[in-house]
Every structure is written in C-alpha cells, then in structure tokens.
Amino acid sequence: MASLIELFDSIPEEPGLARSEAEYRLVEELTFSSPAAILEFLETALSRDVLLVPVWIRNLAYRLACLQEPDNPSLLRRAAADLRFVGPDWNSIADELTRRAESLEGKDIAGE
C-alpha cells in the first residue's frame, strides 16, 4: 500500500474525476492510519508548503489523530495551532483542544 504522502502526491491539480478518485484513496488510507503515520504525513506535506494541504484534509487528519490519542496534549496543541492558522472559523474548537491539553498537563487556565 502506498504511503499517505505518496497518495497525496498522486492527487492531480486539475478538478475532475481523477482528482476525486485520488482524494478518495487518500481519505480511505488516512481513515485507518495510525496517529504516527498521520503526523508524519502532515509534517512532510506541510514542510514543503504550508498552504499545499487543503484545509479539509488537514482538519480531517488532525481529527482522526486526536480521536486515536485523545490524551496526548502535544497532539491536541498541534491540532489547535493548525486550526488557528487556517482562520477564525474554528477558534472555539482550537480553544477547547488547548483547554483539554492544559487539563491533561494539570494546568489551570481559569486565571488567564
């Protein structure tokens, strides 16, 4: 099976059936990937060009990783930072992820 980054790289730039099918293959593989594989994919793709990965793929990838490791404060913080990076629409979710991370680390954010 191809890696997530290989599947991502195989997505054509032009809209159409070939793009839809390639995105489908990526999402299918992403759905059953480990958090480590998902983070490796994100690190590789985002290191090339932070705007290269569409927001919906980034959100899905972080969501799937967080669902598998809900008690990982580092992962929760990374997901929150990415949500904040792409715009204010998800700031409330980013805030909740940050609160969860801080709670897991035993920090009280009420005094902020």
Would 4 be classed as within a structural domain?
yes
Its pTM stands at 0.90
Model confidence over 34-83: pLDDT tens digits?
Answer: 999 999 999 999 999 989 999 999 999 999 999 999 999 999 999 999 99
Would 41 be classed as within a structural domain?
yes
Structural domain total, the chain? 1
Would 8 be classed as within a structural domain?
yes
| Per-residue model confidence (pLDDT) at position 87 | 85
Model confidence over 82-109: pLDDT tens digits?
Answer: 999 988 999 999 999 999 999 999 865 5
Would 23 be classed as within a structural domain?
yes
Are the CB atoms for 61 and 41 separated by under 8 Å? yes
Residue position matching structure tokens 């801080």: 102
Residue range of the domain that includes 36: 1-49
